[in-house]
Amino acid sequence: MKVTLNDIADQLGVSTATVSRALNNQGRIGAATREAVITKAMEMGYELPDRIKSSGKMVGVVFDRRLQSLVTDPFYSTVMMGVEKGCKIHNSQVFFHTIDPESDDRLRSLFAENRLHGLIIVGGDIKGDFVERLRRQKIPFVLVDNYLDSADCIVSDNAGGVQKTLYHLLELGHTNIGFVGGPLSHPSILERYEAYRTMLLRHGIDPKPEWIWIHSEPGPCVSKGYEAIQDWYGSGLEMTALVTDNDSTAIGVLRGCTELGIRVPEDLSVVGFDNISLAEHVTPGITSVHIDKIKMGEWAAKRLHELMEKEDVPVRVVISTELVLRGSSGPNLKGDEGTAD
């Protein structure tokens, strides 16, 4: 059955007139609304006006449906601002799409119809077999916050960020330093965890198994930080500092500490990763590893447009990190009690 303007309007909860104006670039309509209409029209198989199809390339941004939406995810939503900014330079439209990494016939049909010209694949839970299908079909793509051999990747300096974190905590006198995060199937999380272990061992500290709390929930997860601190407190909290895989986890830790009467940073220093906007607005503000998320998105758009013009040798772009100090980290006040054996 042929898709109509009414069908698109019903799906989005807007008027038919709004859909018409968005597709024909008429009247006063916000850029976000126009983009949402074009994306939904493509998803539903609506025949786009020639003016849209010829106005530039159509870039698909795909995101694992098991994670939060690109709108609500505090890290990736900022990365997407950079993608949109980079695509605008090339006069390209952006098409957002959540996928089942195991099977996504809709994407294949869009490429077959020549309605998509390249993909930006966001997040670390999209596996190699999905990427191999793209490669076999000669579909240009770039990975963001993920890396695979022989693929173009835009990633952050995860190991460097954790090293900065641990230098900071060691200088403050901490040696009983825990880690909470997951899943380790996500390349960025695995890099952060491995850097934590490597850095402590390099300084003669053997990270005890009871200092480490790993979960398997995909995406930023406040609840896992909360659960971790509850578990540790129940078995006797011997750490004086805690490294978390991202700021959402750190926020969960702070919540648990508040309920349990654990003072941050007097009893426990907490450090996050990503430096999302909320990190400076909780109490205490979270010391966090900053990543230039806009730059990640801009680089992804830039590299994809290069690949859409011609095939090239894959490159890995590593975005530098820096530690932003706030109130959640402080000196070890427990003295020898908080020192590893």
- DSSP-assigned letter for residue 297: H
Q: Which two tokens stand for residue 170?
A: 């060691």
Task: Tell me the domains of the chain and their CATH numbers.
Answer: 1-54 (1.10.260.40), 158-291+324-338 (3.40.50.2300)
Residue 225 has pLDDT above 90, yes or no: yes
Report pLDDT for 107: 64
Q: At what angle do helices 16-24 and 5-12 cross, to 10 degrees?
A: 110
Whole-angstrom Cα distance, residue 253 to residue 323?
19
Residue predicted with more confidence, 19 or 290: 290
Report pLDDT for 71: 62
Report pLDDT for 173: 97
Mean pLDDT of the chain: 87
Summarised one tens digit per residue, pLDDT across range 232-269 is 998 887 899 999 999 999 999 999 999 999 999 999 99
Q: What is the mean pLDDT of residues 167-185?
A: 96
Report pLDDT for 196: 98
Look at residue 199 and give its three-state secondary structure: helix
For residue 65, the tally of other CB atoms under 10 A from its CB is 13
Report pLDDT for 68: 55
